[in-house]
Amino acid sequence: MAKRGAELYFAGPPSNRSALPEICFEKLFTLSWSPRSRVHLPLYWGALKRSLKGLVGSLKPDLIHAHNIFAARLCHELGLRMIYDDHEYWPLELKALRNYSSKSGLIKAYLSYLASRWSKALIDKVPVIAASHTVAQEYSRYGRAFLVPNFPNELETRLMGRRMKPHDLLSCVAIEKDFPAAAPFRDTSGFLDIFSNTKSMRVTLIGPSRSLIHNLVNPRINPLGYLSHTEMLRELCRHHVGIIPWKPHWFHKYCNPNKAYQYAHAGLVVVVPYTMQPVIEALGKDLCLAFRGFQELRELLRDLSGDVKYALKLGREIKEHAREKLVWEPYEDIIQEAYEAASSTVRRVYSQ
C-alpha cells in the first residue's frame, strides 16, 4: 500500500523487536492491549475500545487492517470499515489449545468460545485474508476470502545474501522458541534428542533462551537465542537443512508458517511434519521432506548427513523454485483487491 501512495499507521502493543514498523509506517500508536482485555473483561475491553475510538476519530482511516480476532471484534463493535487478517485461524487454534485441567486451560477454553462466536459474526460481513489455502477455503464457504501466503518479499531475499555452508557435516537450523512446547501443535519434546550421540550433524536453534538449551550440555546443539529479523535471515544461509520441529498434529492442516519459505529462499532442504499440508503443496512433494515422527526425522537427517553434496544440490533446487514461485510481490494485487472489497462493507461509525 505504501507503493500505491497510502499513508500507513500502526496501532498495537509496544514492541522493540522489529525494525519493520519504522520502515513501513508513518507513525506508531500504542493501544492498551493486555491479557485482561483479550479475554473481554468489561473494564479492560472498554478502555481498549475507548482508546481505539479516539485514535480513529483523529486519524479517520479509510480502512483498518485487523490482524487478529481481537482487533477484528473491536473494530466490528465500533462499526469500523476493516479487513480481517486471520493468519492463525483463531477459532480452531484456540480449540486446539483447550485444556480444562488448569487455570490457563480454562482461559483458553473461554477464548476458544469467544473466537468461534466472534468469527461467526464477522465471516459474512467483512473480507478475510488467509495465509493458507485450507483456511481460505473454509472462509470461502461463508464469505469473501483472499489467499496471501507467508512468502518472503524481495527485500528479505536481498538481505539473505550468500553464506558459506559447511561441507564436512550436516548443519541443520530450526527457528523455534518453544522448548518445551507452549501448544500441542508445536510439540518439540524429543526433537533435541536426535542430536545426541552423533558426530555427523548439528543443529542451530534460533529463538529459545540460551540458558534453557545450555542446560542440556550438548556440543551438537548451538543456541543463538533471539535474533533480529535481518540477523536471522543471514544466519539461515549458513546451513543445509531447515526444520519445523513439531510432532504431527491435525491443526497443521491450517498452518502455513513463513519460516518454511525463509528456509527455502536460503537454499535449505525444508523438513516439516507430514501433517503440514499447505507447506508441502507449496514446495512440492519432490522438494519438501516430511516426517511422521521424530524417529523418522532422525533417520531422514542421518541419510542426508551421509551425502552432504546431495543436500547442497537439493537446497539449490529448492532455492530456485522459491525464487520463481514462492515470492510475495505477486500477491500485492490480491491485497489491493481485498481492500477494494472491504471498501464496500459497513460505513465507518466514529460517533458510537
Each residue's pLDDT tens digit, 147-206: 999 899 998 998 887 778 888 899 999 999 877 777 889 999 999 999 988 889 999 999
Q: Is residue 16 part of a domain?
A: yes
Please write the tens of the pLDDT for every residue from 272-327. 999 999 999 999 999 999 999 999 999 999 999 999 999 999 999 999 999 999 99
Query: Within the chain, where are the H helices?
Result: 20-24, 35-38, 42-59, 69-78, 90-97, 103-122, 133-140, 154-160, 210-214, 229-236, 258-265, 277-283, 294-305, 308-325, 332-342
Q: Do residue 266 and residue 180 come from a single domain?
A: yes
Q: Are 297 and 198 in contact (CB under 8 A)?
A: no
Q: Do residue 24 and residue 77 come from a single domain?
A: yes
Measured CA to CA, the distance from residue 149 to residue 167 in angstroms comes to 33
- Residues forming a β-bridge with 194: none
Q: Do residue 336 and residue 295 come from a single domain?
A: no
The predicted model scores a pTM of: 0.88
Tell me which residue range forms the domain holding 139. 9-150+329-342
Q: Do residue 178 and residue 139 come from a single domain?
A: no
pLDDT of residue 348: 45
Q: Is residue 276 part of a domain?
A: yes
Q: Is residue 347 part of a domain?
A: no
Q: Do residue 195 and residue 288 come from a single domain?
A: yes
Q: Is residue 166 part of a domain?
A: yes
Q: Do residue 194 and residue 180 come from a single domain?
A: yes
Q: Is residue 349 part of a domain?
A: no
Here the CATH number for the domain that contains residue 208 is 3.40.50.2000
> How many domains does the chain divide into?
2
Q: Do residue 58 and residue 160 come from a single domain?
A: no
Q: Do residue 249 and residue 195 come from a single domain?
A: yes
Q: Do residue 203 and residue 124 come from a single domain?
A: no
Q: Do residue 184 and residue 225 come from a single domain?
A: yes
Measured CA to CA, the distance from residue 169 to residue 190 in angstroms comes to 22
Report the first-to-last Cα separation within the chain, whole angstroms.
28
Nearest 5 degrees, angle CA 213-CA 185-CA 35? 80
pLDDT of residue 219: 80
Nearest alpha carbon to residue 318 among 260, 232, 245: 260
Nearest alpha carbon to residue 114 among 159, 72, 148: 72
Q: Do residue 96 and residue 159 come from a single domain?
A: no
Q: Do residue 159 and residue 296 come from a single domain?
A: yes
